[in-house]
Structure formats: structure tokens, C-alpha cells
A and B are shown apart, each in its own frame.
Chain A
Amino acid sequence: MTEELLLAGCLQNNASSQEELYNRFSPRMLGVCYRFAKNREDAEDMLQEGFIKVFTQIHQYRNEGALEGWIRRIVVHTCINVLKKNKKFSDSVDISYASGIHVPEENIPSIVQAKQVVEYIRLLPIGYRTVLNLYAIEGYSHKEIAEMLDIEESTSRSQYTRAKAMLEDILIKKKILFNPRLNSVFAGAVAK
């Protein structure tokens, strides 16, 4: 079924079109939620809430941009709302949490799998991780991130810098990344 037909069916409140839309986009959206959530159960709760909003607000979709992008924005905002309800984004909390992270070093360069990268992102403290997800992966600006998370723009920048440094460190230890000061390319076994 094409996206146009799916969309028309969802606008008509057709349950099978809604299920088809859900089946088509839920795997990737759950991946998005998993990067923000503490665990899989929380990620599924975020996904559920996100898709309920998608179906109740589908009449607001204006065909500007891809449907997946529109769904993704709703899901990301849902994830942020859930996190805001449960956690304050604080520098001091993140720093103290970050100092406790220990990642064993690998001896052999490894093929970079998508799941690996996501799991290493999830090792980061919640505040660092959220800003990194929003800036580097979802493409929001620091100004937008500051508005979404109710923080200062400078806080967003500093948290991203720290998050990136920490993630680089993890990836270097795992031999996925070479030390950027010596070599600006990645380890050879990057999967395409």
C-alpha cells in the first residue's frame, strides 16, 4: 500500500490502515525512542504514546515533507515530554554520572554495527544523551533544543561538547574510532 493510500485510510479512521502505518514505521520509531529511554519498556511506552498522538493528529499533516519525518518529530517530542516529566536536565547530575562510566578497552578494531552505536549512546548520562540525540542525530539547533528542554542555549552547547567527547572516548576504547588528534578517519571496518 502506498503512503498516500495509507494516509487516506488513516484519515477515514480505518483500523487496518492505521495498523499498516504502525507496522511500517514502528521499528524505526522504537529505535528512536530506545535512544532516549532508560530501557526497552520505557521505549515502548514512549512509542505507544507517540503513535496515539500520530493517529489523533493525523488530520494536521499537511503533506509538507515526508510522512515519516512528521511522525518522527511527534515521536521525538513525545520522548522529550516523558523525560521532562521524570527527569530534570542538570549539568551537575550528568557530570557525576559520567565520571562513573567505565568502558573496557578493546584490542581489535570492530565492525561498527548500528546496535553498538546506539548502545554506546545510551551509556551516556541522560542529559548528555538527550542533547546529543537531538543535535547530532535529529538535527535540531541548540536554540530549539534549549526551548524543548527548558535549558539555556549555552547549557545545550556545553552538554553536547561533553557528550561528544565522552562518546568519542568510548568509541576509541572500543576501537571503533581512532584518536581524532592523530587520525581523522574512522577504524577501517566501518560497515556500509
Chain B
Amino acid sequence: MDSKFYMDNFERLLKEKSDEFRMYPTRRVWRSIYNNIYPGRKFPSALISILFITMLPLIGLLNTKTTATTGNIALLSGNKIFITEVSQSASIKIAANTIAFVSSVELHKTNVRNIVAIIESTKEDKEKNINYNAANQRLNRFSLNNSAPKTSVSLTAKPDLTTNATPPVLEDDRNVHVINNNTIEKNIAAANYALQNSQTSQKWTDKLALQIYASPSIIYGVSAGPQTNVPSIEGNNMQNVGLEAGTAMQYPLSNILKIKAGLQFNYASYDIAANQPGHAPLISNDPATTNMNILARASDFSSTASAITLHNEMYQFSMPVGLEVKLLKHNNLQWNAGATIQPTYIAGGDAYLLSSNNHVDESVLINRWNLNAGFETFITYKVNNITWQLGPQFRYQFSSTYGKTYSGVDEKLAVFGVKIGVVKVLH
């Protein structure tokens, strides 16, 4: 038989030595714990990093094309010559005896000084009885650099020419054929125009556009049950209204793709229907002392579970960064689609916490930082230098509004709205 003394000593030895034993974990363990507790915090850095990394080669690829050039265009009306600078995306008026030219002639790796352009008539021109045969016949002939390639270019128009007649409006993106010397001799009669094309590159700041927008919206959200041993709460669907308003800068990467970034203010106001068990007491949670006090409850509800309504409000600031792509274009109308990633900061509001059968107004329990994704599609209409846009948009919140530690409730908002915006290119 083992003596009791020995048995106690043996177990005491085991306990002492085991308690003395230490092992130091690798850094990976803490990082995993942190990412699990704060899942929303890892996404912004990872996603934004991925966004910028993928954008860099894309920008490089898109910018390897020869940049379009603008130059001074001489416009003739009668015997007068007007020389003005031109820019993209403007409407133009054509006088009876004047040929209007457009900007952004794309020349492939040459320094062509003089070109000849023939304006191509479109179906719409023919319907409006507009043709440029006479105008084309009056084109001046210019000697072209022999190395100039034959190419068709798509040009945009120049605004505000003074004319005596009532001219039709020449729309954007009119095809103009640029042809070489030999072809001129054969096909083109000189007209009363002159063109000087200088290799003036457009500054990047000239391409920047400012967008201002607002979007009234409807808010949906789902509160899932808790993930710990807290008694379950029924899921709540919330529906209420909100408003998003903001401003963004846009920069075209190519003819169809734009990058945009800006600042946005979001306001959300929604109700939560919380089911409260009839027999549970009302408990208040004091965040200063962490004590939970059971209060006597006088309820207006019956002994069966009934819903009470809590009203939440939130004010947020976000920084949408994303892309916009042109899908279709017809004259001044255009159909676009866009997507953004929006790191968001909750600046304030009234947030009620659902936890077991407690309803506590505790704004410190919400996740201050969050990440949203926005998707939109819209129609634009351009008038002079202003582009109006209208279309639906959808925004989804990735992380829960509430921190995991206290609530055990996973609430994510989904916002559907109609976006109204105005875009103007800055010069």
C-alpha cells in the first residue's frame, strides 16, 4: 500500500512542476485571436491593399496608349478665322459656311503638323437634312507628313462658335477621317478652313471631374441570434429610411473606365422589433462598474412574448473608392455602372443593444469602424458641361454594427436607394 504521505507528495510534485512550466506562444496565435475578435479591422487594410495593387498594373496598361492631343483649331466663318482652344465633350454649332472641328486628334506616334479632316455624315444628319459634302469640298488641302498613318479618329466638339445662321447642333464623337497627302489630291477639294495641330498634351487636372450626389434610401437589416450561450433572440427585420450625400472626384483611365474617390455622409434611422419574454425581469447593465442590476418591471404586455420597438439612429462618414464603367452610349445619353469600397466611421447616434432580455443604450458597444460595399447603375444625360445622373444603388455593410463582446447579436445593414448626381469636368 502506498502511504498517504507519498501519494500526496507525488501529486504535489506533479502540480508544482506543472505550474512552474511555461511555454511562449508564437505571434501567430495573438494575430489569430485579434482577427477573430475584430474581424472588421483586418478587411479594410487587406481589401484596400488588393485594390491598389490591382489598380497599379491596370493604370499602367491603360496609360500605355498614345495620349490624345488637343490643339488649336481654326474655325472659319465667312472670311474670318477664329482660333480657339478646344476641349473634350462639348457641343458645337455649325454655321452655314463653317466647318466645325473637334479636339483630341489621335495621331499614332507621329508629329503631324497638318492634317485634313473630312466630317462624316451620320444617319441623324441625313434625317435632319444635314450633310457636309459642300463643307468637305471647301476643305483646305494641307500637305501631310508622309509618315502620318491613315486613321479614323473620334473627336469631340468645340463649343460656342459665333455664327450668323442658325446652325444645327453637331453631336459628340463624330467620325472624322484623317487622310494623307495622296488621298487629298484625289478626293478632297480645298475648303475654307485651317487646322493647326500642336502636340499640346492635356494636363491630367483637365480630366478631373467633380461629382456631387444625394441618395434617399430604405434600410434593411438582419439581426442574427447570438453566438454564445446567451438565450436566443428572434431575428429582426428592420426597414426604415436613410440618406446618403457626398462628393467625389473622378478621373478617366480610359474611354470607358473611370476611377473615383470621395467623401460621403450617411444617415440611418430604423426601428428594431425586439421580442421580450413575458416573465423575465428588466436588467440594467452599468458599463462603469460592470454590475448588472435587476429592476422590477412593470410591463404593458401580456405574459406571452411580445415585441417592443426600439428606434436606432446612426451618423456615419465614409470614403468611397471605386470604379465606374461606361456600358452603352447614345448621343448625350449614357448607361454606366459602378462599384465602390467604403471604409466607414460611425460618428454618433443612438444605438440600442439587444442582449438577452436587456435593452441598453450603450453607444460604446458599437463597432466604430466598419466596411461597406456599394454597387450602382445609372443613366446620365449631358447638357453643355454638366452631366446629370440618376439610378438605383445598393450598399451592404460587411461587419456587424455591434461589437461581439457584449451583444452576441450580428446586425448588418443593407441600404437600397436612388442616387441623383451632377458631374462637371474641372478645367
A is bound by B: yes
Interface positions of A (Cβ within 8 A of B): 8, 11-13, 15, 18-19, 22, 26-28, 30-32, 34-35, 40, 43-44, 47-48, 51-52, 55-59, 112-118, 121, 132, 136-137, 164, 167-168, 177, 180, 184-186, 190
B319 to chain A, nearest CB (A): 22
- With A137-B15, A186-B9 as known contacts, state yes or no: A114 contacts B36, CB within 8 Å: no
Determine whether the beta carbon of A184 is less than 8 Å from that of B9: yes
Within 8 A of A (CB), among B1-56: 2-3, 5-6, 9-11, 13-15, 17-26, 28-30, 32-34, 36-38
Q: Which one of A30, A113, A118 lies within 8 Å of B25 (CB-CB)?
A: A30
Chain B residues with Cβ below 8 Å from A31 are: 18, 21-23
From residue B18, how far is it (CB to closest CB) to chain A in Å? 5
The 6 closest A-B pairs by CB, nearest first: A117-B17, A114-B20, A114-B21, A27-B22, A184-B6, A30-B23
- The total of interchain contacts (Cβ-Cβ below 8 angstroms) comes to 114
Q: Check if A117 sits within 8 Å of B18, measured CB to CB.
A: yes
In the bound complex, residues from chain A placing their C-beta under 8 Å from that of B25 are 26-27, 30, 44, 47
CA gap between A117 and B23 in the complex, in Å: 14
Known contacts: A44-B29, A184-B5. The answer to whether A164 contacts B34 by CB under 8 A is no
Residues of B within 8 A of A35 (CB): 18
Q: Do most interface residues of chain B lie in helix, strand or loop, or is the interface mixed?
A: helix
List residues of chain A with CB within 8 A of the CB of B28. 44
Judging by beta carbons under 8 Å apart, are A190 and B6 in contact?
A: no
- Within 8 Å of chain A (Cβ to Cβ): is B403? yes
Interface of A is mostly: helix
Q: Can you name 14 extra interface pairs (CB under 8 A) apart from A13-B405, A136-B14?
A: A19-B30, A22-B30, A26-B24, A31-B18, A31-B23, A59-B290, A117-B14, A118-B21, A168-B10, A177-B10, A180-B6, A184-B3, A184-B9, A186-B9
Q: Indicate if the CB atoms of B34 and A136 lie closer than 8 Å.
A: no
Q: Given the complex of chains A and B, what is the CA–CA distance between A42 and B24 in angstroms?
A: 14
* Chain B hits for A12, CB < 8 A: 287, 364
Does A48 lie within 8 Å of B32, measured CB to CB? yes
Q: Is A55 touching B13 in the complex (CB atoms < 8 A)?
A: no
Chain B residue with minimal CB distance to A190?
A: B13
Q: A27-B24, A44-B26, A114-B18 are in contact. Are A55 and B33 (CB under 8 A)?
A: yes
Q: Could you give 20 example pairs across A and B, Cβ below 8 Å? A: A11-B290, A12-B364, A18-B34, A19-B30, A22-B33, A26-B30, A27-B23, A31-B18, A44-B28, A47-B29, A48-B32, A56-B228, A58-B405, A114-B17, A114-B20, A118-B21, A136-B14, A184-B6, A186-B9, A190-B13
Q: Please tell me if B406 contacts chain A, counting CB pairs below 8 Å.
A: yes
B14 in contact with A186 (CB, 8 Å): no
Closest residue of chain A to B13, judged by CB? A186
